[in-house]
Amino acid sequence: MNDASMSAEMTANLSKSLDFDQAAKPKVVAKDVNVFYGEKQALFDVSIDIVEKSVTAFIGPSGCGKSTFLRCINRMNDTIEGCVVKGGISLDGDDIYAPSLDVVELRARVGMVFQKPNPFPKSIYENVSYGPRIHGLARGKTELDEIVESSLKRAGLWEEVKDRLNEPGTGLSGGQQQRLCIARAIAVSPEVILMDEPCSALDPIATARIEELIDELRANFTIIIVTHSMQQAARVSQRTAFFHLGILVELGATEQIFTNPSDKRTQDYITGRFG
Amino acid sequence: MAGYAFLLIALMTTAAYLLGRGRGARIWAGGDGSKVHSLPGYHGAFVAAWVGIPAFILGLFWLFLQGPIIDQFLIASLPTSMTDGATASQINLLVSEIKNVAAGQVFKEPTPDIVAAAERYELWGQIARWAMIVVALAVMVVALSFARSRLAPRFRARNAFEHVLSGLMIFCSVVAIATTIGIVSSLVFEAWRFFTMVPVTEFLFGLRWEPQIALRDDQVAGLGAFGAIPVFTGTILIAFLAMLVATPIGIFTAIYLVEYSSDRARKIIKPIMEILAGVPTVVYGFFAVLTVAPAIREFGGLIGIAVSPNSAIAAGGVMGIMIIPFISSLSDDALNAVPRSMRDGSLALGATPSETMIKVLLPAALPGIVGGVLLGVSRAIGETMIVVMAAGLIASLTLNPLDSVTTVTVQIVTLLIGDTEFDSPKTLAAFALGLVLFLVTLCLNVIALRIVRKYREQYD
């Protein structure tokens, strides 16, 4: 297959998947995103629509650029020296790379959960109240208490920690720490939550708990999850994007990607031929 | 002569290595490969260790013991008329006169007895040196034949050499420990002698420090007072001023380097900080005494405040500059040790870099930074050269940074310079001060290292 026909096929796939979701409103729209780490190009012309209040999974082999793309959406790549992002990404129609945009505000709208649970070495309460405090979301202690309580409840952690809110968050188990990090992200009331392999450091039971939680959160948030586990993508997501070597190969409804992929590379990957 | 002896030992050791390796190579070639335990080089090293190490140790002991033993013989051989009724120090004087004559340094016409003794001394020295070479050679030959006889295909030269190496490392660490014990015990011993002359309570709580007492009857000097409080307050004042300069500048530099600076700025600033750390303290001393102190004095004059020429603030300020790189590099390490995920977590929640720094990174790195500051304090207290040059000598009890104060280290230096006699409280006071200094810096270092270590455990 030559390059031209390949890209033609890709475009066809893309437009097909867009047709599929025409009813849903796109929350994040990326157009021709190219990312460079110094001389090395990590992403090539990625264009994608993320549907509101649904879970989109990014899958692909290691080093395929899925995490890099995820980190473009809240501009965490800004913190990496030598990283250049070209192209446009918009959130509700606002260009997030526009000079007038405030990164701090963007990150309050687009929360993030990392691969390894990273609670601050502070109490559980302070971990959750950190975001609301710096953004001034609460007027007074009672309001802050309410935000902390509701965030922990939505993260499914409240029952386990309500009696020890003043103990350090680092003392929790790995799965609890990750739910604490989710609660911490929710507390700022973001519109989008980015999850970068949130279960890769957890055991199967804790993973199941987080997956359930992701399914519940879908009602209120737009969730994008990067995962290495194809089963996880199949379980939690409505739409799946397959990345390979910095190219967005295929995007579509999760069911279609896993049962009837249109690209040969996707097929090879999900059947375990590589990656 | 001793040099030749050690050269001989070195040559013999090399020869032993070559012999052992040659033997090993023959064993290696003769055996059927799998049956031979060690490579030829290990056989060589094994033989060399046997030949070199005992002979070297013997040589060292010989050198240490030779002098005192010959001295004893010398004293015993002197005519009784010269040694009868003489005190130990008179005999010492006599012995050193004999040695001087033997070495050809004649200060006054020696008596025939002394000339004879000097000749004997010379002769015994010769005998001792030759004897050493002969004995060392004998030991090496015996060791060589013993070690060579051990070599065999199944001989575990590799493991045996491992023992030699670990022994060598234990020896090296023992040297450091033994030196520390020696220093501490000499401090304690001399300080104890001081405290038999001056009560501990007077030393620790007395408010007057005038140690320049007369050493000889014809000297004009004060009666002496050994209350160290003014010296301690002076030290604390200068150290405090130094930390006042060093702590904020050092920590802010570290924060800037870790969190805000571009790669290019870091590449320029870091080496400059290293230069600052490498400036000899005596140069800081010049800077304090020739530049900073006059400048502060002039400025004080302009606004109508009297500043002493050796003001504490000049010495303390320059000392602070000296400590900046120390604190900034330790804080830098502490901040870098905070996992990147902490910073990412905070930034991803929409915190600005400075919010992240104040609320997440600094609290997480605080134990490491506090440890660094405490180590800085112990350096400030123990620092000598800057204060010797820039601080005063008079121990005045004041907390005014514009006055002249003195420090423990300055007093130790001045007490031990010039005519000294090690049985007067004046000189022994230096050891008491040294002991206090040692205890304080030891405590600070222990506390600082404990804090730093406790903090390290958190993330590893």
Half-sphere exposure of B228 (CA within 13 A, CB side): 26
Interface of B with A in 170-199 (CB under 8 A): none
At B419 the pLDDT is 67
At A240 the pLDDT is 94
Q: Which residue has the higher pLDDT, A4 or B179?
A: B179
Q: Which tokens is B164 given?
A: 């030699």
Residue A141 in any domain: the answer is: no
Q: Among A43-52, B142-151, B173-182, B222-231, which stretch is predicted with the lowest mean pLDDT?
A: B222-231
CB contact under 8 A, B348 and A106: no
Residue A91 in any domain: the answer is: yes
Sorting pLDDT into bands at 50, 70 and 90, what band is A19? Answer: very low
Q: Which tokens is B345 given?
A: 């977590």
Chain B residues with beta carbon closer than 8 angstroms to that of A112: 344, 348
The per-residue pLDDT of chain B, averaged, comes to 87
User: Distances in Å between the alpha carbon of A118 and those of A77, B343, B360?
Assistant: 18, 9, 12
Q: Among A157-161, B85-89, B126-130, B283-287, which stretch is predicted with the lowest mean pLDDT?
A: B85-89
Which residues is A111 bridged to in the sheet?
A: A193
Q: For residue range B376-423, what is the model confidence (pLDDT) as tens digits?
A: 999 999 998 999 888 888 888 888 888 888 999 999 998 888 766 777
Chosen for mutation from A83, A105, A130 (greatest number of chain B CBs closer than 10 Å) is A130
Alpha helices (H) along B78-156: 80-83, 88-102, 112-150
Which helix (H) or strand (E) segment holds residue B301: the answer is helix B293-302
Interacting residues of B209 by C-beta distance below 8 A, sequence separation 6+: B225, B226, B227, B228, B229, B230, B231, B395, B406, B411
Chain A residues with beta carbon closer than 8 angstroms to that of B350: 104-108, 131, 134-135, 188
Residue A170 in any domain: the answer is: no
Does pLDDT of B126 surpass 60? yes
**CA A21, A24, A28 angle in degrees (round to 5)?**
95
At A163 the pLDDT is 93
Q: For residue range B91-109, what is the model confidence (pLDDT) as tens digits?
A: 888 888 888 888 877 777 7
Within 10 angstroms of residue A53's Cβ, the number of other Cβ atoms is: 16
At B217 the pLDDT is 61
Checking DSSP bridges between strand A239-244 and strand A247-253, what pairing results, if any? antiparallel
CA distance A62 to chain B (A): 20
Does pLDDT of A14 surpass 80? no
Q: Which tokens is B423 given?
A: 């049985």
SS (H, E, C) chain A: CCHHHHHHHHHHHHHHHHHHCCCCCEEEEEEEEEEEECCEEEEEEEEEEEECCCEEEEECCCCCCHHHHHHHHCCHHHHCCCEEEEEEEEECCEECCCCCCCHHHHHHHEEEECCCCCCCCCEHHHHHHHHHHHHCCCCCHHHHHHHHHHHHHHCCCHHHHCCCCCCEHHHCCHHHHHHHHHHHHHCCCCCEEEEECCCCCCCHHHHHHHHHHHHHHCCCCEEEEECCCHHHHHHHCCEEEEEECCEEEEEEEHHHHHHCCCCHHHHHHHCCCCC
CA distance A123 to chain B (A): 12
CA distance B452 to chain A (A): 16
Interacting residues of B117 by C-beta distance below 8 A, sequence separation 6+: B74, B77, B78, B98
8 Å CB contact between A56 and A238: yes
- We report the CATH number of the domain holding residue A17 as 3.40.50.300
Chosen for mutation from B349, B356, B358 (greatest number of chain A CBs closer than 10 Å) is B349
Q: Which residue has the tokens 């500059």?
A: B321
* Cα–Cα distance, A203 to B402 (Å, whole number): 65
Chain B residues with beta carbon closer than 8 angstroms to that of A121: 342, 363-364, 458
Does pLDDT of A201 surpass 90? no
Residue A70 in any domain: the answer is: yes
At B324 the pLDDT is 94
* Cα–Cα distance, B46 to B40 (Å, whole number): 10
At B219 the pLDDT is 63
Helix, strand, or coil here: B109? coil
Residue A149 in any domain: the answer is: no
| Sequence spans of domains, chain B | 2-155, 225-459
**Residue-range definition of the domain harbouring residue A56:** 3-120+188-270
Handedness of CA B161, B165, B171, B174 (dihedral sign): negative
CA distance B354 to chain A (A): 11
Angle between helices B229-255 and B362-382 (to 10 degrees): 140
**CA B258, B263, B265 angle in degrees (round to 5)?**
85
Residue A41 in any domain: the answer is: yes
Long-range pairs of B281-284 with CB within 8 A, sequence gap ≥ 24: B281/B322, B281/B383, B281/B384, B281/B385, B281/B386, B282/B385, B282/B389, B284/B318, B284/B319, B284/B321, B284/B322, B284/B385, B284/B386
Chain A residues with beta carbon closer than 8 angstroms to that of B262: 81
Under CATH, to which class is B225-459 assigned?
mainly alpha
8 Å CB contact between A182 and A156: no
**B183-187, B209-213, B392-396: which has the highest mean pLDDT?**
B183-187
User: Distances in Å between the alpha carbon of B278 and those of B137, B178, B186, B390, B434?
Assistant: 47, 29, 31, 20, 26
Interface of B with A in 218-247 (CB under 8 A): none
Chain A residues with beta carbon closer than 8 angstroms to that of B348: 74, 76, 107, 111-112, 114, 185
* Cα–Cα distance, A263 to A266 (Å, whole number): 5
8 Å CB contact between A221 and A192: yes
CA distance B448 to chain A (A): 21
At A17 the pLDDT is 46
Interface of A with B (CB under 8 A): 74, 76, 79, 81, 104-108, 111-112, 114, 116, 118-122, 130-131, 134-135, 170, 181, 184-185, 188
CB contact under 8 A, A106 and B349: no
Mean pLDDT of B22-31: 84
Residue type, A187: A
Residue A133 in any domain: the answer is: no
Q: Which tokens is B181 given?
A: 């014990």
Mean pLDDT of A254-260: 91
Does pLDDT of B35 surpass 80? no
CA distance A10 to chain B (A): 33
Which helix (H) or strand (E) segment holds residue B201: the answer is helix B200-205
At B415 the pLDDT is 86
Number of structural domains found in chain A:
1
Q: Which tokens is A33 given?
A: 């995103």
8 Å CB contact between A242 and A59: yes
CA distance A121 to chain B (A): 7
Q: Which tokens is B171 given?
A: 């020896």
Q: How many CB pairs under 8 A join A and B?
A: 66
Q: Among B71-85, B223-237, B347-361, B394-408, which stretch is predicted with the lowest mean pLDDT?
A: B71-85
Which residues is A58 bridged to in the sheet?
A: A226, A241
Name the residue of chain B whose CA is nearest to A115's CA: B341
Q: Which residue has the higher pLDDT, B312 or B224?
A: B312
Which residues is A84 bridged to in the sheet?
A: A36
The 10 Å CB-count burial string (b at 16+, else e) for B396-405 is ebbeebbbbb
8 Å CB contact between A71 and A77: yes
At B418 the pLDDT is 72
Complex ipTM over 0.90: no
Residue A131 in any domain: the answer is: no
CB contact under 8 A, A108 and B349: yes
Q: What percent of chain A has pLDDT over 70?
A: 91
Long-range pairs of B97-106 with CB within 8 A, sequence gap ≥ 24: B98/B74
Q: For residue range A74-85, what is the model confidence (pLDDT) as tens digits?
A: 999 888 888 999
CB contact under 8 A, A121 and B458: yes
At B460 the pLDDT is 42
- Selecting from A81, A118, A131 the residue whose C-beta is nearest the C-beta of B350 gives A131
**CA A102, A104, A109 angle in degrees (round to 5)?**
95
CA distance A258 to chain B (A): 32
At B32 the pLDDT is 64
Interface of B with A in 351-410 (CB under 8 A): 351-352, 355, 359-360, 363-364
The answer, for B258 touching chain A at a CB cutoff of 8 Å, is: no
CB contact under 8 A, A121 and B349: no
Within 10 angstroms of residue B45's Cβ, the number of other Cβ atoms is: 23
The answer, for B77 touching chain A at a CB cutoff of 8 Å, is: no
Does pLDDT of B439 surpass 50? yes
Mean pLDDT of A130-147: 92
